[in-house]
A = this chain, B = another copy of it.
Amino acid sequence: MEKGRLQSFSDGVIAIIITIMVLELKIPSSDSIASLKPLLPVFISYILSFIYIGIYWNNHHHMFYAVTRVNGKVLWANLHLLFWLSLIPFVTGWVGENHFTTIPVALYGVILLMSAVAWTILSRTLIKQHGKTSLIATAFGKDIKGTFSLIIYAAAIIVSFINPLISLGLYVVVAIMWFVPDRRIEKLI
């Protein structure tokens, strides 16, 4: 099957996810600078989530560049990833409105963890389809950065019950780690 439509559908869903998050920035009733202040935590969580969604889009872009064909399993592995990403606007709003308290920060981590798990499943499914000697297998074969992220997310969820701000710091660390788009594909080409 053609990969083009999977890419454009994913682009559409990711574009909507990244944009509807801004609807959580509720317009203040007053026109003073002070009325913006309660929006600050929502704005900070918006920036973090925007960067996360941006990272996923960038890496999705890179991953499917190395892919030649997709089957039914890939379509569902991809939808599974989009499902978890679609929950990011919800946890972004919740974490922001509650000023980064324990439960929302932990749930934010759960959604990030599940998104990362879904990403891993997607890459495994693609590698299985394309074979062990394929470009995608060589590029994603030993996904150290991916495994490392999963560990940090899991740690951050636990840490949020002690100090949610440390968890937040860990999410920022993973974001920085992934900020640089995956050069493995570019290098191999």
**Which A residues have a C-beta under 8 Å from some C-beta of B?**
1-2, 5-9, 11-20, 22-25, 27-28, 31-33, 36, 47, 50, 54, 57-58, 61-62, 65, 71-72, 75-76, 79, 82-83, 86-87, 89-90, 93-94, 97-98, 101-104, 107, 179-181, 183, 186
Contacts and interface: CB of A to CB of B under 8 A. Distances in A.
A23 to B, nearest CB: 7
B90 A25 contact: yes
Chain A contact residues: over half helix, strand or loop, or mixed? helix
Given A12-B12, A13-B19, A186-B1, A27 B97 contact: yes
Contacts of A31: 94, 98, 101-104
A92 to B, nearest CB: 9
